[in-house]
């Protein structure tokens, strides 16, 4: 299997939706977060520089790139790979691994993947879709189709 790396367009996609926060905060899931969505060993009150946030993002992305390489059994375009890294960065590797999206993709049903992205727009399935997740999924679908 080919080993992929995130493109500059993929990096921009993730940075746009994660946003840059130089002071630790609690994300909607209640997890201490800093930089561009970094959660590893973060404590409330922590602060970092923009350069450190960039470094943490690049380290985090290596894990997600490797996860996509490991979990996807079919060839991908650069746009498809970028979309999957962004998606997995957002929902987590375990969720992607268990997802119908991954199962459908690995059977070669590329055309069914965009509708699978659209299912991941809820913070709580009992509540309406989150606008930020709707926007992110639409951007990921556009990257997938590019």
Residues catalogued as catalytic: 18, 27
* Residue whose entry in the numeric block shows the structure tokens 């309406």: 128
Q: How many helices (H) and strands (E) does the chain have?
A: 7, 2
Q: Which neighbouring-strand residues pair with 33?
A: 25
- In DSSP terms, which residues pair with 64 in a beta bridge? none
Euclidean distance between the first and the last CA atom of the chain, given in angstroms as a whole number: 21
Distances (CA, A) of 121 to 4, 22, 133: 26, 26, 5
* Strand residue runs (E) in the chain: 21-26, 32-35
In 3D, which of 63, 126, 138, 72 has the Cα closest to residue 99? 72
Q: Are 144 and 113 in contact (CB under 8 A)?
A: yes
């Amino acid at each position: 299997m080919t080993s992929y790396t995130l493109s500059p367009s993929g990096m921009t996609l993730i940075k746009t939706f994660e946003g840059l926060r130089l002071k630790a905060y609690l994300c909607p899931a209640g997890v201490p977060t800093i930089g561009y969505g970094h959660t590893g060993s973060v404590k409330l009150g922590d602060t970092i520089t923009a350069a450190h946030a960039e470094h943490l993002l690049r380290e985090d992305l290596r894990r997600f790139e490797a996860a996509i390489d490991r979990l996807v059994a079919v060839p991908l375009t650069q746009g498809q790979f970028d979309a999957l890294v962004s998606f997995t960065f957002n929902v987590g590797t375990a969720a992607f691994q268990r997802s119908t999206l991954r199962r459908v993709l690995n059977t070669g049903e590329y055309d069914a993947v965009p509708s699978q992205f659209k299912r991941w727009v809820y913070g709580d399935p009992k509540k309406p879709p989150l606008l930020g997740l709707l926007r992110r999924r639409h951007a990921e679908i556009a990257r997938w189709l590019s």
